[in-house]
Chains A and B, each alone.
Chain A
Amino acid sequence: MTRLDLEGLGFAQGAHILVERALRGLPPGDRLHVVGHDPALAVHLRGWCRSRGHVFSADQHGSLVSPGPAERQRWAGAERAGGPRPDGIVRRPPPHWGLAARGALVEAGGPTPVGFDIADRDVVWADLAPRLYAHAAAAQWDPAVAVDWSAATELPEDIEAAVVQVMTYLVENEQAALVIPARLLARIHPHFREVQQLLAVQAADEARHIEVFSRRALLTGSELGTSSAGGRASLTSLLFEADFSLASFLLSVLGEGAFLALLAFLDEHAPDPVTRQVTRLARVDEARHVAFGVAHLEHQAALDPTLRGRLRAAVERRHDALVDTAGLNADVYDALVVLAAGEWTPAAIARGYAAVQRLQAAMDDGRRQRLERLGFPPDEAAELSALHTRNFM
């Protein structure tokens, strides 16, 4: 018989922890002899044993406990939810693993959550995801200190108005870029936690972009620019793409890809240091978003030969849906020309106009390169790039 002396420790102070530990270490068939001098020990031990399915008895020497089978039975049908590291990811994690940590020992039974419908490694995963997440987490910046807000300079009224218009447009686009990954990440099976983490940080990135672009827009005034129906139609068409790969393709590869060129353009032509800083900070984040989109679609394209056909159809569908809309807000286009021109002379406007045309060519060039990385032949990449929304995003 094994003896456990609880000394003065009672069940109201955690005595069950020592009893459970001693029962776990008990040889088969053995009984635990529990002694101690808490006055309520025998009463509480009896009640506790009953609730745990252990057999309690008392004799002249004290209390005896024979362990019951309940704890062993509880874990009899348990299974590991894959392995904790990326090499322990399974192709299709079952829905009943639910919120369990990847690699945890999952008790059988319990709820089967609905809604984690993005649950195929080949659809959601990219080997780059853990590294991108680590990079994203390390690269988080504080809008209050990362931008030198005191560096604001007084701009001519109509140049400032052009900046405000561009910022208004950027905020609208970032709203879409926040909502889309946030919606998707809530549908991803928690087994693919690195992808969820990455999309969560991506949404947080967009939250900061919305903040800094809004703050820049209101730096000297109190009114924002315009939001066109056509621009919103283009962005809204992104919200309704339910397929993870297609949504990620349209938003990250094509939309945010084009945005990289736009933010570089604004960095180059910013009329003031605050505009330059906010667009530069946002660009670093957006580059990461594009990298994940491309990486996971590259991964998927290698496994699924039908993917490219579906990507192509998604671009065509969106083009058809938007063909009768105006596309880019004309106020935004003109504001970009004015920013690149820098002054109100015919020669400067011509320079600015040419610069915006070069920006569009750069966007097209980037889109074609990324499409080719996904395996589209150059002519098809050029054709698809041409179908991309006039609204850039």
Chain B
Amino acid sequence: MKIVGIAGTAKNTGKTTTTMTLIETACEQGVPLAVTSIGLDGEELDQVTGLPKPRLELPAGAFLVTAEHCISGGTAELEVLKELRAQTPLGKLQLARVLQKGRVLMAGPNNQRDLNEVAQSLEGREADVLLVDGALNRMAPLAGTDLFVLATGAARSNNLAALQRETQTLVRVLKLPGLPPREKSTFSYILNNRGIKGLGTDSLLSRERVERIFSSCREVKEIFIRGVLTGEAFSRLGSMINPEGCRLIISNPINLLLGEDLKELDRAVEVWQKAGGELGVEFPLDLRAVTINPFFPDWQEKGGFYQPRYVEEEALKRYLSSLKVPVINVVREGGSRLWSTVFGEN
């Protein structure tokens, strides 16, 4: 079974539309599938903006993992097969099968460990694909998925030049190559001539932390970060040690994207690599496509509500076409292109 993570850069970037398109195509092609979400999907109106959301419809035979209180929230007839251990604000997760097609309300695992439990619960069942719909800009629970799709668009920024720069950074990081750490380690470490030394923390989140840890190091052979490395910390790291010949390995690419400033991260990557530093991840992601959505909710100060608006589709596509990954306007280009891009030979 292939697990596909569909992450977004923000609310309303098209995650659920992408997921729904994959569901429809799977149906057409007769591929048995399972679906879940790391947030809440399938509700009529957005919880924050109050604007209509795309509804989630599942075909008969599909598996679904959703929270207890969502089981009766749709029109699909479901058979609950199993209760899982994972708990959510809407109750415990349930594995169910769709008996009669219809809309579903989906609130699934909110972290990677619980997503693993979901995948395990599907073992031995008739599902070739598990689609995991993202939530908001959250990606961390999807770090262990086999195939990855990133949804972005005007809801993230309707300044297309800025959106282009940011998406380039995201793609650059999400496509970082695998780089196996020299030491098999359960903690973050520095490796230099004197040997391996624990960092004392899994994550480097701030400049200050980097300064404390690296005050007496200059020449380092390898740094392994199990947790998060923010752009700010990365930037300081690049100026404290000599990147040349140093292998910097992060557990997974998403852990590089969790800081506040993506521009700073981009500069830090640039500086590191130019100075001869190696950068890679222990568990690479297989980023298959970026899907784009021209829609954005526009806040009306006067009326105090969100107005649905759109950027020009052609312009959006043009700006993002330089990315080193297939860019798909799902609504315009249809499901088969998306399907073959996601599941085809790389």
Are A and B part of the same complex? Answer: no
* Residues of A near any B CB (own CB < 8 A): none
